[in-house]
Chain A
């Protein structure tokens, strides 16, 4: 035990506004790794189909969406000749990542209150764990996406790598909302109920079943720009277009959504930092 390596910690009651304590987060990076690993290992334990669920789940959603919205309601994909299953699959997969992460992250603090009331570690790791662990499901479901693209003879073009930009927007939004809501849910359990009824509404508002361009056509340009403030608009539209060769990447939508996702993330982490000192007292 060398004297120089001794950790110096000061515990105070001062209200400080800060984003993250990066030094501390780096020290606890292995904890994040094992929390994510735990989530992934435990998720499909004692199931017969295991990780196949990550494919089956979106597959049935695509089937239902295609029959109901594509055939029965006859919603146009807005892109000439694009089959509805391809169109909806490209939105359902990122949407599923967002909604599962959002739900898991929001409830994460309540579920783990038995841990953080006994041990200190950077609490922000708790809501951030699903943000990473749900990426495993997301990656597996990309297999189904590839299969559907192959079946309909769609080959992604050279700008397919652009999908990292909308994906990052979705990840950042889920993380930001997770930090906001996990701390809100812990103190005000009302938010638990709010989330369950808000999620379907968020799905209807997002351009999953219909293209975003419809909003512009029906409600005008101003509404369209405001609409893009909802990060899932740029996230899903961007994700969809990056896989389709003959569709231009919607830079403007992605830009607006990107900015608002950053605002959600930064405000979420500030709020979380502000509230985390009380977690053990209100839990």
Chain B
């Protein structure tokens, strides 16, 4: 019994978190009801704001959304647990509860040891204070005591590599220096339980790598417990002992990291390989529109995960409401920083002028998909000559899993959110 207790680092039982989401209100059209509504608005507003935290008593309303429900798992000391799932599956909410930022609506979490998470890097930095003052402020916010920071101070400064500017106000720092200092503090927390959310750490590839490196170090050498949330399936397979798969707020699979990732890749493929488009939200005159999109792999099967280095087919179901001259299709592929990586412009790449029927399919084929692991989104614009008929940003998003792009038999390594360009080596 005693042995068992010391063995467990995290114990989660029947955890659930409900949020209240807005429900569309009736819109009144006549003046009297509008005036009447303005008078009773304070009462309505009060009820609405008040209800934001009335979830203990009333959890079954139609505006209640369960971000997590019935989550139970245990993590042993020294274990590295991967948490995977699509965006919106409830990973971040789970982490927020584990790091005590928000309280669960039901259930219980038991933590044995100090928790720190790398998603909090740089929290509470004050631009007016010097680097040194911020180390102490940030360190205490993250749960260290003054004595503990003093012991680690030299090491933190050394790690950050900005000794020269340590007495300078942080507002004079470059953003890179800020991140380095913030990370130096986070890296010296030495918690018993470390939470890493790759999803929230977007923005700085350098920094993400540092997180990953630090994580390997922490998990490997020091025998700490790590909870790792990632979209990078290869990293999960490589770093984690075990993994759980979240889907719509529930755990749908739990097992070894390899099994869970494989299950995810196989099953995620059937979830949302196609999407029906709500045309009413599109910009443009809507004479020529897309109603449905499907993503297909080389073999012609619908997929939600594209594989790097394999052909990708984007099948767009179109409708022509009114004929026009010279139809043009523009497909933009963006990374998760909303940067456009490349554009498929039919005006240049389609030989001739598109002949369209009333309804039909346009397929954009991208041979040997040159994208690294990550989440990508698609913008589609349709035109008649230069007249925009249909324009939707982020119409579709898809994940890319790593593959053997170069045909060398090696799976490409962890370049994140980038493009893979063909190149050769000449050795003399």
Contact = CB atoms under 8 A, between A and B. Distances in A.
A278 B53 contact: yes
Contacts of B136: 34
Contact of A281 (B53, B119, B145, B146): B53
B53 A6 contact: no
Of B52, B99, B101, B144, chain A has the most CB atoms within 10 Å of the CB of B101
A38 interface: yes
Given A13-B106, A42-B126, A282-B52, A119 B112 contact: no
Given A115-B123, A118-B119, A120-B99, A10 B110 contact: yes
Interface residues of B, number: 45
B361 interface: no
A48 to B, nearest CB: 16
Contact of A115 (B56, B97, B111, B141): B141
A281 B107 contact: no
B52 to A, nearest CB: 5
A281 B114 contact: no
Contact of B129 (A11, A42, A46, A112): A42
Contacts of B19: 281
A183 to B, nearest CB: 11
A158 interface: no
Given A34-B140, A42-B126, A275-B53, A11 B100 contact: yes
A121 B143 contact: yes
Interface string B44-63: 00100110110010000000
Interface string B88-109: 0000000011011111111111
A278 B144 CA distance: 25
Interface string A7-18: 111111101000
B101 A38 contact: no
A13 B105 contact: yes
A41 interface: yes
B276 to A, nearest CB: 32
A38 B138 CA distance: 11
Contacts, number: 121
A217 interface: no
Centre residue among A31, A277, A280 by max chain B CB count within 10 A = A31
B129 A119 contact: no
Contact of A278 (B52, B109, B141, B143): B52
B291 to A, nearest CB: 38
Contacts of A1: 192
A181 B136 CA distance: 29
A275 B103 CA distance: 11
A33 to B, nearest CB: 7
B386 interface: no
A34 B137 contact: yes
Interface in A58-114: 112, 114
Interface string B122-148: 011010110001001100111111100
Given A15-B56, A281-B102, A38 B110 contact: no
A267 interface: no
A150 interface: no
Interface in A1-54: 1, 3, 6-13, 15, 27-28, 30-31, 33-35, 37-38, 41-42, 45-46
Contacts of B144: 30
Contact of A11 (B6, B97, B114): B97
A139 interface: no
A203 B388 CA distance: 63
Contacts of B137: 34-35, 37-38
B120 interface: yes
A3 to B, nearest CB: 5
A116 B108 CA distance: 21
A251 interface: no
Given A38-B129, A119-B124, A187 B49 contact: yes
B262 to A, nearest CB: 32
Contacts of B53: 187, 275, 278, 281-282
A7 B112 contact: yes
B213 interface: no
Contacts of B115: 9, 120
A8 B126 contact: no
B244 to A, nearest CB: 18
Central interface residue in A11, A12, A15, by most chain B CB within 10 Å: A11
B113 interface: yes
A113 B49 CA distance: 17
Contacts of A118: 101, 119-120, 123
Given A34-B137, A120-B101, A10 B96 contact: no
A3 B6 contact: yes
| Residue among A116, A118, A277 facing the most chain B CB atoms (10 A cut-off) | A118
B195 to A, nearest CB: 11
A168 interface: no
Given A120-B101, A188-B49, A280-B96, A8 B112 contact: yes
A117 interface: yes
Contact of A45 (B49, B109, B128): B128
A30 B128 contact: no
The winner among B104, B123, B141 for most chain A CB atoms within 10 A is: B141
A11 B109 contact: yes
Contacts of B50: 187
Contacts of B108: 10-13
Contacts of A41: 128-129, 133
Nearest to B96: A280
A121 B100 CA distance: 9
B111 A9 contact: yes
Contacts of A117: 101
A33 B102 contact: no
Given A9-B115, A120-B115, A187-B49, 4 more contacts: A6-B192, A9-B110, A120-B100, A280-B96
20 contacts: A6-B192, A7-B111, A8-B111, A9-B100, A9-B109, A11-B97, A11-B109, A13-B107, A31-B141, A37-B133, A118-B101, A119-B99, A119-B101, A119-B142, A120-B115, A121-B143, A187-B53, A277-B102, A278-B52, A280-B96
Interface of A: 1, 3, 6-13, 15, 27-28, 30-31, 33-35, 37-38, 41-42, 45-46, 112, 114-121, 187-188, 275, 277-278, 280-282
